[in-house]
Structure 1
């Protein structure tokens, strides 16, 4: 299953966000083992060096830990997962606001639309 990537963003960042998103959505759970670097490279259709960089970034975020001879695992620290969730929420919200402002909408107009949407749920 190769993945589709957007051209204007580094692939490794897109993969980091995908894995973070999978943790936040519950597709990956605390303590889950990630595929080996080679397996993930084949799965995603990218170079092994790219996956090594992805795993290094995830470890720097403290979302994963590598156990020598065993593999790479999602952290069991709920505080770390919560922190990453909050960071991603902030990042997505800021991208959204930037995007709507580029069309000339005000934040107040968008809040109004979101409140209507919330009322429809």
Structure 2
């Protein structure tokens, strides 16, 4: 079972919500059966969110065709080219998230901080 870092003040920022937002994803994921909350064995005040192992079978059936097609695309590249692609995407994704945050912040500033 894969363990996700404890839910805490930084988790909502990572998923772009506030801790009290009705759109906070953890309760919805828990109700859907994808994750469960357990007490952190090292610190009972913390909560650890764990993926429910068999819950992703339904997700795989939904996204399986897309994964297959992407696999076919990647198979057309050499291992070195694949390494380059994976390196690019591992760097581009965080850069895109940072740029999104900058855009969000500047939009809020233009709206007067609302």
Is the pair's TM-score, using the shorter chain for normalization, greater than 0.5? no
TM-score by length of 2: 0.39
**Max radius of gyration: which structure?**
2
Higher strand share: 2
